[in-house]
Amino acid sequence: MIRYINCFRKAPGLSTEDFREFWQGAEFNELIHKIVVLTSATRHSKNLTLQVSMGEELVSERGLAQPYDGILEYYWESAQHLPEVYASEQARTLLEQFTRFQSRFIDLANSTAFFTEHCD
């Protein structure tokens, strides 16, 4: 299983409530769905970080960086088809639209993304 994981930080000056409103909104969900369809992802996962005291304690005790505000993942059995998909005009247009929308509530420069593979 191949996963593409996006770890996002909210835009500077944006409240947690406003970030969560964008994150859970219909427009973001629609864009994610379009990416799932375009890339033939077998599933996706969209998560928000819980604002709980136990999390704050772990960060403080271990000297960790602040957690990301949201995590978005896409899954495929194989990712061999992705370079061809992402080279398409349709993908470029969708990714531009996605990035423009995300820039309204995500600090892209302080977020990250990477691929992983499942290991037993």
Domain spanning 2-117, CATH architecture: 2-Layer Sandwich (3.30)
Classify the phi-psi angles of 11: left when phi > 0, otherwise alpha if psi is within -120 to 50, otherwise beta. beta
Distance from C-alpha of 45 to C-alpha of 38, rounded to nearest angstrom: 16
Q: How do residues 67-90 score in pLDDT, each as one tens digit?
A: 999 999 999 999 999 999 999 999
pLDDT tens string 50-67: 988 888 899 899 999 889
**Residue 51: predicted pLDDT:** 83
pLDDT bracket for residue 108 (50, 70, 90): very high
Q: What is the pLDDT of residues 3-44, one digit of tens each?
A: 999 999 999 999 999 999 999 999 999 999 999 999 999 999
Question: 118, exposed or middle or buried, with CB in 10 Å at 0-12, 13-18, 19+?
Answer: exposed
CA separation for the pair 8, 48 (Å, rounded): 10
pLDDT of amino acid 120 = 81
